Structure 1
């Protein structure tokens, strides 16, 4: 060995990963399972669902992590400022040369920390208005169906059913839930929302009121009813909700969000329904009072009617005066009729005195003479008018006879003209041409023998269907209109 050789030159060389793995193995073997008490620092939940937070005291900080599956199982979510006891395994994160605590469980460090967290959560929810009195709904006086959210195996449901049976039996729907532990809050919130989603009058009818009940216990046992999801479900319920969690001295956040807080589950059943016997007695009492009031009213009305009837006259006395007045008037009727008849007779006599026959004869003679004079004056003019009218009538009759004669003459001439037209069409030379004959012309002259044909310079022969020239210069073709068709030109 060289006396001048450095001993460190013989040390083993480690890679970075080997050192990181050795440190990780040593740390996990030494601190495999630990419980650490400290104050929660910053809390970050990644989009993957993993939660990263710090545990600290007055001198040091310990990085902590809970994976997504562990976060879902935590009974208490760490919040900044809480003092907690975290349970887990100490490990390292090689890429950043850091160690951290893998937290599997978190519990508040004592009742003081729980109450501080409870007050902080209560203040936040109250600031949102979830505990406002105007949000609370009145309970139905006599619900048909009552929904109960509680454990199906505990004494609470038996106490509620027993109390309902004693007071006023009603239909009860029980939604079984865990009333403590990590699953309590989620199941209670789901039960409240499930009751609200039921259809009224359906196969599983919707309850008219909900009771959330649990027996007494420590603050840790009742912590599920302080969770935010439970409080929000209770505040959002459209069905009136009664909270009966714990004993009378126990208070949870669901009590502030519910429509009514009952000190015990038995008291919740008492608030839900009235006492049936008391209700029957109340109805009977009201019915008796109504009957007594009606009887008393009828008696008072009868007494009042009797009192008023004493002041009224008898029916016989009511007719005495009119009957006497009728007798008096009937006695005066005969004399009044006789006097009236006498007055009318006198008036008739006075009027008849002015109607003497001689006076009427004079008036009739005067009227007759007036009529005769007027008739004498009107007779010449009337005669002239009659003569004029008679002449006009004679003239009109003569004109009518003349018009009828001309019409007959015109009709007769028309008939004769039609006969001549038919005769012309039958005997005309056109009809003869149609039977196979022809007309020979020389200029305007008609050729009827061979001598005239020889002397003629040129001839024109007309058939039924057209004309053509023979000998000499052929005349210019021209259209010939026939009776059987359109005009046709010469064939030559």
Structure 2
């Protein structure tokens, strides 16, 4: 608190932070722990940080609310817009915006009426999306080979299902253990349905032909996990037929509407999944007896019909009498027909032979030679006429090609070529300048990255006897021939010791550098 001696009033003066802190302490001390009933407003889901910010309101007032990430993960239901809830927490203020708010630690729906209203609202929403349509439901297989059961592994439900399946028709049962009550039951059941659908038909774990989602009876709160939206969507999207057996016959959940079949009890679900083996065996035996009796009667009737038809058929002589007579008549006419055909062919050949006499051929050759001579005599005149016609056609366009249009056209073409030549020189100059700048940049980059620039700064490179650079001291052994490259030349050297553990454990005293010989060689060791 600050006071000013020259102030004309004796009222205490506060800073904004002081008055905000005083209000915060007053509100938190007075309303340390409260329970507030109201309707959720402005809920948009958890923030990216995991916190949730919304408001609680009634018909006359409104209060800001926040749920931190830790409390949000412990909620047993998913908050939704318009839901009436009872929130437990503490009141505090937020000085940054001069607002007071409730920090919610626990929250629950405001009674079963609110849960039923939420359930009806969710039911209408999912029904509008078509998740409950009867046309989308699948038929159950009559004889499944593998049955998948999604339930608690410790309850009486799984024992009842297995016992009932064993009594009716022993099958291979795969149990996916899940929690059937609590805040994690919905996601676990949805994950189990999706997990069974993800199995491969010929994989190490057989894919079930039908799924049973089962749980015993309970209150609306106990069965609330099976009303979760994620469970309903998983059941509706399942490629494997799903039987819902949640609660007693009077209980119902949203998964019952999305599943392909609803069973009144878990035992009833087992009865829907498999038939009775004894009844099937009796039915098969009855059908086998009926099949044997029917086949006997059918063969007997066919045998009698065959005998009756065989008596009505004529004998082989009667059937072949008419064809045999036609064959004999055709054989008798064949000799006469051959003779008549031979005489006809001979007459035709004789007629053609008379037309091919030497005199007739000579006459035709003379006629063709006359026609050829006449055509050859007309050919020079035709060629001259053709040349005159082509010359006249050529002279008419040639008269229109005067020297002046040709000169103007050549001048225009020469001007265009000069423009193209100037543009070519400019383009070549630009390309050469760009290549020259790029070459200079690459040369500077090469000089910067070259090891010679490192040598300019006083460093040296060590090469082995083969001329390869030495990268590790461990690769040098005593007596190895080395070459040291400096900026102004190379120096030969002999290694006096390796870089092993015996040589590298104790530092050595630096030896004075021997004078450089006239040959440019020396030793560093």
TM-score by length of 1: 0.60
**Matched residue, 2:128:** 127
**Matched residue, 2:89:** 88
Cα separation, 2, equivalents of 1:319 and 1:14 = 138
Superposed displacement of residue 297, structure 1? 1.6
**Matched residue, 1:377:** none
Cα separation, 2, equivalents of 1:201 and 1:39 = 52
TM-score by length of 2: 0.56
Cα separation, 2, equivalents of 1:122 and 1:246 = 18
Structure 1 unaligned runs (5+)?
Answer: 323-492
Retained in 2: the 8 A contact 1:74–1:104?
no
Give yes or no for the alignment of 1:17 onto 2:22.
no
Instruction: Give the number of the structure whose alpha-carbon radius of gyration is greater.
Output: 1
Cα separation, 1, equivalents of 2:245 and 2:235 = 13
Q: Secondary structure at the match of 1:114?
A: helix
Structure 2 unaligned runs (5+)?
Answer: 1-5, 321-525
**Matched residue, 2:290:** 289
Give yes or no for the alignment of 1:185 onto 2:181.
no
Q: Secondary structure at the match of 1:251?
A: coil
**Matched residue, 2:28:** 28
Cα separation, 1, equivalents of 2:317 and 2:125 = 91
Cα separation, 1, equivalents of 2:313 and 2:64 = 107
Superposed displacement of residue 306, structure 1? 5.2
Q: Which moves more between the two structures, 144-153 or 45-54?
A: 45-54
Give yes or no for the alignment of 1:74 onto 2:80.
no
Cα separation, 1, equivalents of 2:284 and 2:175 = 31
**Matched residue, 2:55:** 54
C-alpha deviations, 1:97-134, integer Å up to 9, x for none?
21111122322212221111111111111111111122
Give yes or no for the alignment of 1:202 onto 2:199.
no
Retained in 2: the 8 A contact 1:78–1:106?
no
C-alpha deviations, 1:473-492, integer Å up to 9, x for none?
xxxxxxxxxxxxxxxxxxxx
C-alpha deviations, 1:265-307, integer Å up to 9, x for none?
1111111111111111111111111011011222323444555
**Matched residue, 1:272:** 273
In the TM superposition, what are the counterparts of 1:313-324 in structure 2 within 5 Å? none
Superposed displacement of residue 32, structure 1? 2.6
Retained in 2: the 8 A contact 1:145–1:208?
yes
Q: Secondary structure at the match of 2:294?
A: helix
Superposed displacement of residue 309, structure 1? 6.3
Cα separation, 2, equivalents of 1:179 and 1:295 = 58
Cα separation, 2, equivalents of 1:142 and 1:197 = 22
**Matched residue, 2:43:** 43
Retained in 2: the 8 A contact 1:75–1:105?
no
**Once superposed, what is the RMSD of the aligned Cα atoms?**
2.8
**Matched residue, 1:245:** 246
C-alpha deviations, 1:362-404, integer Å up to 9, x for none?
xxxxxxxxxxxxxxxxxxxxxxxxxxxxxxxxxxxxxxxxxxx
In the TM superposition, what are the counterparts of 1:215-230 in structure 2 within 5 Å? 215-230=216-231
Cα separation, 1, equivalents of 2:156 and 2:8 = 78
Cα separation, 2, equivalents of 1:77 and 1:28 = 28
The count of corresponding residues between Structure 1 and Structure 2 is 315
Q: Secondary structure at the match of 2:42?
A: strand
**Matched residue, 2:154:** 153
